[in-house]
Structure 1
Amino acid sequence: MIELKNINLDNISISEQITKIEEEDNEFNMALLEYGYHKNYITQNHLIEEFWDTVQARIGVLQKVGIDVNTIMEQYPKHLEKIRNRPRDKR
């Protein structure tokens, strides 16, 4: 089971957190490209670490507007139901 965590963002503005999302997205995208082209250069673990950084940054922006991780997780079953009937196979 995954346990999401709020982190202390008391001294961070919402605009700074949005910038953090952009930064983490860029780092993930670079890691993804490097992993795709040079699997020996970047490890799977590093790519997954960058993925989780993007998730945490988004949790942070929701936290800044008053939505905590418990509320996010309460909505997770709805997300699972939503994607259950959304095939991505384009054959």
Structure 2
Amino acid sequence: MVISLKDLLLGFQVHESVKKKRRVLRRRRSHMGRRIRALRKLVPYGETMEIGKLFVEAAKYILCLQMQAKAMQVMVRVLSSNGK
């Protein structure tokens, strides 16, 4: 079996493109891992949850925080209007 120079070069290019894709995927996974670790620290009890449950709990936690912020805004409006 004879391998041509063209086949050798194409094989090298394919190998290099595969290595590049692997590097990109590894970098992407690393970046996602850092973000997930940060999310785990923000969500109560997030450090012990599996990823799927973590995302659900994060969404619930965001809604809860939004409701608390709205409640505090209402309290500020009510308390500031009583002083006038």
Q: Is TM-score (shorter-chain normalized) higher than 0.5?
A: no
Considering Cα pairs closer than 8 Å and 6+ residues apart, tell me whether 1 or 2 has the greater RCO. 1
TM bin, normalised by shorter chain, reads: 0.3 to 0.5
Q: TM-score, normalised by structure 1?
A: 0.33
> Greater CA radius of gyration, 1 or 2?
2
Larger relative helix fraction: 2
Q: TM-score, normalised by structure 2?
A: 0.35
